[in-house]
Amino acid sequence: MKSDIEIARSIELERIEKIAEKAGVPVESINNYGKNIAKVNEKLIDEEKIKKIMMVIPQMIDDSVPIGPDDSCNVEVQRFGDATVPEFEIPYHTEIMERFDGIDMDAAGRVAGNGFYYLVGDIARLHEGIIAYARDFMIGKGFTYCIPPFMIRSSVVTGVMSFAEMENMMYKIEGEDLYLIGTSEHSMIGRYIDQMIDEETLPQTLTSYSPCFRKEKGAHGIEERGVYRIHQFEKQEMIVICKPEDSMMWFDKLWKNAPTAIEMEHYGFVHAHNDHFRDGLTAIEAFKRCHATFAGFHGYPRKWLENEFYLTEYCANRLGYWYFITGACIPELTDTAYNIITLDMENRGWARAYWPYDLKLRLKNEEGSYIIPLDADNREWLPDNPFTIDLRVDARGVPAGEYDVSIGLFEGERPIKLAIKETALDEGFYTIGRTAVRTV
């Protein structure tokens, strides 16, 4: 490929040749030919120097970031819980995977060399499930899902990393001006190369999936066992294009948008501290405040269940979402598309749902049943905020008569449980009243 200097020089030379041709004189006789070429060279050399300097200027950092030569000058700004040393030997992550016959690094070494692995069976499914969960979680937060190109040109590479980083990380496609991406950030940021973004379109919130390919040169001795420092992996990214003055606000939002998983401390530690966390915060208050979605028992799960049954049961009910129907207004229906029923609801859990479910109405009597989809977004049913939803019921095609009215929430064909007595449950639907359908 020609450099910018070579391209500019050839353009200037072509211009002078055309002048000489029209005048019918040798190119060398054109006045100031040498000076013109020299000026072009000097100008472009200066521009290239400036460009090289600009390319090594790092991203502007927030004033709150401490200045220092390396990470030894980092300042701890927040801590969650207290670090503890377990009373048993912690198995390495690949040992756990091997117990499930879920990883084969030997075969991968024979096929591709070090830094690769086969994921197998339930471990492979778990891997895909976590990626899918992260994707759907961010979509639920209003981010736009994107699958970017997995290769980028050198002009994009130099825009997202230094030459030294590029040499140590990226795989080049032989004979092509293309590199395999080391992260989807590369191609996602490259999407905006040489583009002017209208301020009215900001912020642009994106979540992207991609496989990632890295040489990992210079990483020897930095946790090389297992599936660290590998050459191929997959991940989900969060990217926000925003105004500079909003960047710190979005940084806080991004890390706080991660799903919250709570790992219960060792039973002995928490029990000795009267079930209180840091700064006197009770476990339940902590779970509620961070909108906990999951919890795991670390160390002594049986002891938790035996001695802290109330806490365990209370948490189990409230982790994630917990939907209650507290009231319903079900008028007589007509065989039209313009009926409205009203539900009063509460989410008494600690978190919102991050996956959309299908809300359905069933009208049932001895002669048959009719299932009607309802337009509602359960991701908007937030905790600690009783709400009322008006649902349009399209009863066209439903014969006149008396019906039991039932509500059900579904993920595909799988019913999602509501906080209603099991005696009211029938095939995933909960009976909430009766009504009549009349013909108009």
> By three-state DSSP, how is residue 207 classified?
strand
Alpha-carbon distance values, 188 to 139, 206, 214, 235, 423 (Å) = 17, 9, 17, 13, 51
Residue (of 320, 313, 341) closest to 403 by Cα position: 341
Q: Is residue 72 part of a domain?
A: no
203 and 171 in a single domain? The answer is yes
> By three-state DSSP, how is residue 28 classified?
helix
Q: Is residue 63 part of a domain?
A: no
For the chain, the domain total comes to 4
Alpha-carbon distance values, 58 to 156, 193, 205 (Å) = 16, 17, 23
Burial of 101 (0-12, 13-18, 19+ CB in 10 A): exposed
pTM of the predicted model, to two decimals? 0.51
pLDDT at residue number 419: 84
Q: Is residue 163 part of a domain?
A: yes
267 and 239 in a single domain? The answer is no
100 and 239 in a single domain? The answer is yes
| 329 vs 424, higher pLDDT | 329
pLDDT at residue number 266: 42
Among 9-23, 123-137, 202-216, where is mean pLDDT lowest? 9-23
CB 269 within 8 A of CB 236: no
Strands 179-180 and 151-152: antiparallel
Question: What is the percentage of the chain residues whose pLDDT exceeds 90?
Answer: 29
Mean pLDDT of 316-337: 88
pLDDT at residue number 279: 43
CB 295 within 8 A of CB 261: yes
Q: Is residue 79 part of a domain?
A: no
155 and 224 in a single domain? The answer is yes
**Quick one: how many helices (H) and strands (E) in the chain?**
13, 19
Strands 204-213 and 294-297: unpaired
342 and 380 in a single domain? The answer is yes
Domain boundary among 256, 279, 298: 256
Q: Is residue 402 part of a domain?
A: yes
150 and 251 in a single domain? The answer is yes
Position 216 pLDDT exceeds 50: yes
pLDDT at residue number 276: 47
Position 220 pLDDT exceeds 50: no
Q: pLDDT tens digit string along 155-196?
A: 888 777 766 667 778 899 999 999 999 888 889 988 988 888
Q: pLDDT tens digit string along 261-313?
A: 555 444 444 455 454 444 445 667 767 776 777 665 554 556 556 666 666 67
Alpha-carbon distance values, 362 to 374, 420, 423, 437 (Å) = 10, 16, 16, 13
Report, in angstroms and rounded to the nearest whole number, the Rg of the chain calculated over CA atoms. 31
What is the rounded CA–CA span in Å between residue 434 and residue 431?
8
What is the rounded CA–CA span in Å between residue 98 and residue 95?
5
Q: Which domain holds residue 398?
A: 323-438
37 and 143 in a single domain? The answer is no
CB 416 within 8 A of CB 322: no
Position 226 pLDDT exceeds 80: no
243 and 98 in a single domain? The answer is yes
| 63 vs 411, higher pLDDT | 411
Which band of pLDDT confidence, cut at 50, 70 and 90, is reported for residue 425? confident
pLDDT at residue number 133: 85
Q: Tokens in use for 79?
A: 């801590």
Question: What is the percentage of the chain residues whose pLDDT exceeds 70?
Answer: 73
pLDDT at residue number 218: 46
Burial of 69 (0-12, 13-18, 19+ CB in 10 A): exposed
Q: Is residue 122 part of a domain?
A: yes
Among 45-59, 136-150, 287-301, 347-361, where is mean pLDDT lowest? 287-301
Tell me the average pLDDT of the chain.
79
CB 305 within 8 A of CB 337: no
CB 428 within 8 A of CB 410: yes
Q: Is residue 182 part of a domain?
A: yes
Domain boundary among 239, 256, 273: 256
> By three-state DSSP, how is residue 284 classified?
helix
341 and 393 in a single domain? The answer is yes
155 and 203 in a single domain? The answer is yes
Alpha-carbon distance values, 323 to 74, 293, 348, 380, 404 (Å) = 43, 14, 6, 12, 21
Domain boundary among 318, 338, 366: 318
What is the rounded CA–CA span in Å between residue 94 and residue 227?
7
pLDDT at residue number 42: 63
CATH number for the domain that contains residue 400: 2.60.40.770
What is the rounded CA–CA span in Å between residue 50 and residue 316?
60
Position 28 pLDDT exceeds 70: no
Among 68-72, 248-252, 391-395, where is mean pLDDT lowest? 68-72
Q: pLDDT tens digit string along 64-119?
A: 777 777 777 777 776 666 667 778 787 888 888 999 999 998 999 899 988 899 99
Please report how the helices 33-55 and 4-23 are oriented relative to each other, as an axis angle in degrees rounded to 10.
Answer: 160
Mean pLDDT of 218-228: 54
What is the rounded CA–CA span in Å between residue 282 and residue 267?
15
Which band of pLDDT confidence, cut at 50, 70 and 90, is reported for residue 209? very high
Position 3 pLDDT exceeds 60: no
314 and 330 in a single domain? The answer is no
Preceding peptide of 203 cis, ω within 30° = yes
CATH number for the domain that contains residue 187: 3.30.930.10
| 339 vs 264, higher pLDDT | 339
Q: Is residue 75 part of a domain?
A: no
397 and 334 in a single domain? The answer is yes
Please give the distance of CA 103 from its chain centroid, rounded to a whole number: 25
* Structure-token match 């269940």, residue found: 305
